[in-house]
Amino acid sequence: MHETGLIKNMLEAVHRVQEEHGGRKIAVITVEMSAFGGWDEEHFREHFREAVRGTPWQAARLDIKKVMMGPEAKLTSVTFEEDTLGVDPTRG
């Protein structure tokens, strides 16, 4: 399924960000989802929960922000437990 592959890619990016920040515990994973992308938010959440089961991110909250335009779904930030601001995984 398309969602599964996309979520796998997102979690690989989450893993890289976590490693770059010394393995700190992640509290929130934020994703933007296009209002016109054709994906149902709850269906995406189900796939996400399945993908993180048994991983260090199992307890992380998934925040989904609906946007009018853009890709179907895109990882936009990772927030660590101690942070008040997220880290944009697309910035190097």
Q: Is 43 contained in some domain?
A: yes
Angle at 4 between CA 89 and CA 54, to 5 degrees: 80
C-alpha–C-alpha distance, residues 64 and 22, integer Å: 25
Per-residue pLDDT of the chain (92 residues; tens, 9 = 90+): 566 788 999 999 999 999 999 999 999 999 999 888 777 889 899 999 999 999 999 999 999 999 987 788 899 999 998 765 555 666 55
What CATH number is associated with residue 76? 3.30.2320.50
Number of domains in the chain: 1
For residues 90 and 46, the answer to whether their CB atoms sit within 8 Å is no
Domain extent, residue 24, equals 2-80
- For 78, the token pair is 């990772």
**Do the domain assignments include residue 27?**
yes
How far lies 32's CA from each of 9, 21, 54, in Å?
15, 22, 24
| pLDDT for residue 59 | 95
87 in a domain, yes or no? no
What's the rounded Cα separation, in Å, for the pair 56 and 85?
Answer: 20
Instruction: At 9, give phi and psi (nearest 5°).
Output: -65, -40
